[in-house]
Amino acid sequence: MGVAVIKLKNPPVNSLSLEVLTEFVISLEKLENDKTFRGVIVTSDCPGIFSAGLDLTEMCGKSQAHYAEYWRAVQELWLRLYLSNLVLIAAINGVSPAGGCLMSLTCDYRVLADNPKYNMGLNETLLGIVAPSWFKDTLVNTVGHRTAERALQLGLLFPPAEALRVGMVDQVVPEDQVHSTALSVMAQWLAVPDHARQLTKNLMRKPTADRLVKQRDADIQYFLRFISRDSIQKSLRVYLDKLRQKKG
């Protein structure tokens, strides 16, 4: 039925490095241009981890030019996913904080494996950083304003039952059924004529995407100013050190 699977593979935690973002965009573009494909299942090849989100090492101790290039790549992936003409289904087979969660929120439907460790949410505030407005918009469009307001301020990571309750995911299923469920949901979505579904998706999503498109450069400048602050760099270093020391 013309369904591709994109399996994220950047061990150990599928962090969204510049290289991963770039490759993801290229793969998506190829699928968009190949008319034999109508849908994509986005999943992970790293056991227990869907994606650890944006790669913190790309946002810490690097040059302004690097931050700008990285942020443009983050914007590009979000825009491509959010406005994709393909049916995108996230088969979430692991934990998905921050950028990992955002990636799944750009999909049309989310199936999450029922494992209490597989938390998801936009936890940026816990790192001492702030989810950008378009991250916030994506969450609001999924779970509504009040739930998003609380989740964003507290940096909440929702376990599966809670994620389902607030509407962050559409289905929670046993881990060994995530892929088959994604496939049967895909069949349902592909039963709808493409042109009608695509125009409807665009109608729903374009106003949100346009807000970023209209001010992409300003958004990059805003990110540069924010991420270069000494206090923000310090927060990120402390957070990364904590992650690294967990093992020791």
Ligand X SMILES: CCCCC/C=C\C/C=C\C/C=C/C(=O)SCCNC(=O)CCNC(=O)[C@H](O)C(C)(C)COP(=O)(O)OP(=O)(O)OC[C@H]1O[C@@H](n2cnc3c(N)ncnc32)[C@H](O)[C@@H]1OP(=O)(O)O
Q: Is 85 a catalytic residue?
A: no
Minimum distance between the CB of residue 173 and ligand X, rounded to whole angstroms?
A: 21
Long-range contacts of 173-176 (CB under 8 A, 24+ apart): 173/111, 173/112, 173/113, 173/114, 174/113, 174/114, 175/93, 175/113, 175/114, 175/115
C-alpha span between 178 and 180 (Å, rounded):
6
By the rule CB under 6 A, 226 interacts with ligand X: yes
- The phi-psi region of residue 99 (left if phi > 0; otherwise alpha if psi is between -120 and 50; otherwise beta) is alpha
C-alpha span between 35 and 31 (Å, rounded):
8
Contacts of ligand X in 48-107 (CB under 6 A): 49, 52-57, 95, 97-99
Minimum distance between the CB of residue 244 and ligand X, rounded to whole angstroms?
A: 4
| Binding range to ligand X, per CB under 6 A, among 7-15, 30-38, 191-199, 208-216 | 7-15
Of 81, 94, 123, 157, catalytic: 123
C-alpha span between 102 and 81 (Å, rounded):
10
Binds ligand X by CB under 6 A, chosen from 42, 73, 112, 129: 129
Which regions of the chain does DSSP assign to beta strands (E)?
3-8, 39-44, 48-49, 87-92, 94-97, 109-113, 120-121, 171-173
The torsion angle over the Cα atoms of residues 173, 179, 184 and 187, rounded to 10 degrees, is 140
Binds ligand X by CB under 6 A, chosen from 44, 75, 104, 123: 123
Q: Is 202 a catalytic residue?
A: no
**DSSP string of 57-74?**
GGSSS--HHHHHHHHHHH
Minimum distance between the CB of residue 135 and ligand X, rounded to whole angstroms?
A: 7
By the rule CB under 6 A, 244 interacts with ligand X: yes
Minimum distance between the CB of residue 33 and ligand X, rounded to whole angstroms?
A: 28
Total residues contacting ligand X by CB under 6 A comes to 29
Quick one: 148 or 185, whose CB is closer to ligand X?
148
Q: Is 128 a catalytic residue?
A: no
| Binding range to ligand X, per CB under 6 A, among 9-17, 85-93, 104-112, 185-193 | 9-17
Pairing of strands 39-44, 87-92: parallel
Of 28, 77, 88, 124, catalytic: 124
C-alpha span between 239 and 52 (Å, rounded):
13
Quick one: 52 or 186, whose CB is closer to ligand X?
52
Footprint of ligand X (CB under 6 A):
12-13, 15, 49, 52-57, 95, 97-99, 123-124, 127, 129-130, 132, 222-223, 226-227, 240, 243-244, 246-247
What are the residue numbers of the active site?
54, 99, 123-124
